[in-house]
């Protein structure tokens, strides 16, 4: 299923003062939470989950696929509040499971000791590597969407990771575990650092684009910033649940007010 088909199925909303969420995994859950309180909200998915890229290179830079861009534009009214929920899972793809050999790094301003058995990698190396991966992937979608939708005002930070390794493993897709029986969940502190770095790189991109980041709701996080188990997705180790989406919906409502 591609975006054009989704848009064809879902009639464009013409309501004044409505909200358009543009993004991926988290989008539908937040939309449902907003709709539950009768918010005039629409949504669009800019990814093509079954393959293909929504981003195309043009002489003037990267742009959204014209079909997707047209679909999004058709849903935007002068007073539509456009919010990005683009991507947000790259840190999990890269680091929810431990690498071989394990590695670790320090974030700026943090003095916590590194894992003793891990290969220490300087922060600027990890940052440069992750930035390149995002630049070629998820951030390119943010750039392209911002070009197509200059009205994009906010970006929703992705949920933080769970602390509990057993909980992550319990909710990991059985297919992945069966295919990689030797894989183990990465150290919790490393996963948290990867999420923080992911958020930092998105925040820098958003600042350059004039987009405000809406941080993950503090109520869903424990004192160390891990996702509280109460907000863990029932079947996914890398997503948050409906209660978390409701907290984000609260944040969006506050933005609207």
Partner 1 sequence: MKHPYEQAPPYTKWRHAVAAPATEAVDPGIGFPFRLSRRDRVATAGSCFAQHVGRALRGRGFSHYVTETAHPFVANVAGPFAYEQFSARYGNVYTSRQMLQLVQRALGLFEPADRAWTGPDGHWYDPFRPTVQPGGFLSVEELETDRRRHLACVRTLLDGLDYLVFTLGLTEAWMSATDGAAYPLCPGVAAGAFDPAQHLFVNLEVDEIVADVEAFLALITAINPSARLILTVSPVALAATAENRHVLASNTYSKAVLRVAAEMLARRNPGTIGYFPSYEIITGIHSRGGYVLDDLRSVSEAGVAQVMASFARNATRADEPDPADAPAPHDPVALRQAALFKDLSGLTAAECDEAMLGA
Binding mask 30-59 for partner 1 (x = CB under 8 A): -------------x-x-x-xx---------
C-alpha–C-alpha distance, residues 214 and 176, integer Å: 32
Q: Is 8 in the site for partner 1 (CB under 8 A)?
A: no
Using the minimum distance from each CB to partner 1, give the nearer residue, 29 or 217.
29
C-alpha–C-alpha distance, residues 29 and 16, integer Å: 22
Please report, as residue ranges, which positions from 69 to 128 form the binding site for partner 1 (by CB under 8 A). 89, 92-97, 99-101, 103, 106, 108, 119-128
**Neighbour tally for 229: CB within 10 Å:** 11
One residue of 4, 176, 208, 256 binding partner 1 per CB under 8 A? 176
Q: Provide, rounded to whole angstroms, the least separation between the CB of residue 78 and partner 1.
A: 25
* Whether 240 contacts 161, CB under 8 Å: no
The per-residue b/e assignment along 140-150, b for 16 or more CB within 10 angstroms, e otherwise, is bbbbbbbbbbe
- DSSP state, 160? P
* Whether 128 contacts 56, CB under 8 Å: no
- DSSP state, 97? B
Q: Locate tokens 């978390």: which residue? A: 244
Stretch that binds partner 1, among 2-10, 70-78, 139-147, 217-225 (CB under 8 A): 2-10
Q: Provide, rounded to whole angstroms, the least separation between the CB of residue 45 and partner 1.
A: 6
Tell me which residues touch partner 1 (CB under 8 A).
1, 6, 9-10, 24-25, 27-29, 43, 45, 47, 49-50, 89, 92-97, 99-101, 103, 106, 108, 119-129, 132-133, 173, 175-176, 179-180, 182-183, 236, 238-239
């Amino acid at each position: 299923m591609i975006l054009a088909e989704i848009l064809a199925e879902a009639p464009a909303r013409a309501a004044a003062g409505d909200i358009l969420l543009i993004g991926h995994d988290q989008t539908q859950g937040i939309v449902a939470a907003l709709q539950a309180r009768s918010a005039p909200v629409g949504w669009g998915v800019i990814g093509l989950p079954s393959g293909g890229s929504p981003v195309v290179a043009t002489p003037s830079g990267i742009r959204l696929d014209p079909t997707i861009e047209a679909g999004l534009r058709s849903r935007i009214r002068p007073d539509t509040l456009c919010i990005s929920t683009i991507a947000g899972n790259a840190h999990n793809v890269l680091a929810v499971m431990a690498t071989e050999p394990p590695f670790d790094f320090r974030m700026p301003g943090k003095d916590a000791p590194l894992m003793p058995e891990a290969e220490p990698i300087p922060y600027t190396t990890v940052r440069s590597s992750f930035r390149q991966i995002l630049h070629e992937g998820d951030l390119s979608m943010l750039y392209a969407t911002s070009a197509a939708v200059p009205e994009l005002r906010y970006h929703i930070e992705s949920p933080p990771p769970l602390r509990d390794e057993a909980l992550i493993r319990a909710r990991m897709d059985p297919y992945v575990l069966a295919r990689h029986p030797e894989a183990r969940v990465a150290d919790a502190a490393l996963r948290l650092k990867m999420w923080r770095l992911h958020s930092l790189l998105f925040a820098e991109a958003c600042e350059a684009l004039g987009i405000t980041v809406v941080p993950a709701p503090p109520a869903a996080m424990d004192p160390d910033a891990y996702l509280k188990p109460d907000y863990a997705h029932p079947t996914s180790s890398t997503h948050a649940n409906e209660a978390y989406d409701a907290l984000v919906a609260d944040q969006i409502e506050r933005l609207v007010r």
